[in-house]
């Protein structure tokens, strides 16, 4: 597990709310103001080393992205297991709600999906270990720190993982532009896993064949598809809506 840098004020505030080990925090030289002053106070309460550095050092650490005058050095992200995700649902007395990402390559998309999933109460996200974006500095920033509150499992084989989830009683719904039904006409209540495919190729053939139902989002304009994170957001909140309506019945 390689150490990584986390940049940006909100992601670091979320880090400090957890028990995650932070080796050091770097802040831009000068008197800390606003939320950086708040971060410094939180870090001091946890006895975390704080070092003032020049802007050029922060620019190098952030690899050109907006660092907002602050960065933190942390140990690499600790991935969870499938059982951890299912146990979280059980402990909350809820039906499991899982997102499966089939070879999402853009870390910005991964971060955006994590942020939406965390906000909607998804129990966990599953990604493949290979040919997929992993949790890195960009994902932390794109998720605005939500990655620290989300269980993420990295698995060797998505197809085998789907079989395991089916054995646990989950229904698997794949997002596909040629799906057999629109998402709002599909019963998405109960134990659900949503599969979101690669930005360009969509869901792979093998994974597509493992899905119980392929669902689509209506595309009425000139563009034929949505960004992966936008598609995920639409479907995630439809699952949330349907399950909330079920509770009211």
Other Cβ atoms less than 10 A from the Cβ of 202: the count is 22
User: Which ranges in the chain are annotated with CATH 3.30.1330.30?
Assistant: 4-74
Least reliable range by pLDDT among 1-5, 7-11, 80-84, 150-154: 1-5
pLDDT band at 244 (very low <50, low <70, confident <90, very high): confident
Rounded distance between C-alpha atoms, residue 12 and residue 6, angstroms: 7
pLDDT band at 238 (very low <50, low <70, confident <90, very high): very high
| pLDDT score of 1 | 54
- Sign for the pseudo-dihedral over CA of 215, 217, 220, 225: negative
pLDDT band at 141 (very low <50, low <70, confident <90, very high): confident
Rounded distance between C-alpha atoms, residue 245 and residue 247, angstroms: 5
Residue 194 main-chain phi, psi, to 5 deg? -100, 130
Q: What is the CATH number of domain 82-248?
A: 3.40.1280.10
* Rg, Å, the chain Cα set: 20
For 195-206, the pLDDT digits (tens) are 999 988 899 999
| pLDDT score of 19 | 83
User: Which ranges in the chain are annotated with CATH 3.40.1280.10?
Assistant: 82-248
For 6-21, the pLDDT digits (tens) are 888 988 998 898 888 8
As separate numbers, helices (DSSP H) first and strands (DSSP E) second, the chain gives 9, 11
Rounded distance between C-alpha atoms, residue 116 and residue 190, angstroms: 19
Other Cβ atoms less than 10 A from the Cβ of 247: the count is 7
Q: Which residue has the tokens 């831009």?
A: 28
Rounded distance between C-alpha atoms, residue 216 and residue 238, angstroms: 12
Class in CATH terms, 4-74 = alpha beta
């Amino acid at each position: 597990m390689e150490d990584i840098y986390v940049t940006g004020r909100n992601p670091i505030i979320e880090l400090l709310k957890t028990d995650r080990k932070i080796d050091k925090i770097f802040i831009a030289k000068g008197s800390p103001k606003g939320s950086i002053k708040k971060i410094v106070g939180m870090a001091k309460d946890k006895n975390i080393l704080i070092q003032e550095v020049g802007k050029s050092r922060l620019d190098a650490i952030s690899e050109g992205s907006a660092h907002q005058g602050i960065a933190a050095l942390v140990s690499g992200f600790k991935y969870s297991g499938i059982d951890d995700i299912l146990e979280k649902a059980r402990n909350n007395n809820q039906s499991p709600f899982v997102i499966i990402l089939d070879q999402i390559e853009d870390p910005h998309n991964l971060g955006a999906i994590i942020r939406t999933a965390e906000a909607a109460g998804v129990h966990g996200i599953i990604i493949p270990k290979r040919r997929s974006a992993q949790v890195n500095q960009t994902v932390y920033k794109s998720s605005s720190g939500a990655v620290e509150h989300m269980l993420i499992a990295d698995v060797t084989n998505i197809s085998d993982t789907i079989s395991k989830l089916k054995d646990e009683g989950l229904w698997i719904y794949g997002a596909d532009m040629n799906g057999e039904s629109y998402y709002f006409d599909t019963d998405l209540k109960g134990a659900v896993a949503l599969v979101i495919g690669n930005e360009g190729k969509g869901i792979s053939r093998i994974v597509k064949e493992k899905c119980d139902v392929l669902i689509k989002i209506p595309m009425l304009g000139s563009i034929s598809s949505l960004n992966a994170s936008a598609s995920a957001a639409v479907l995630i909140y439809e699952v949330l809506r349907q399950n909330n309506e079920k509770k009211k019945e």
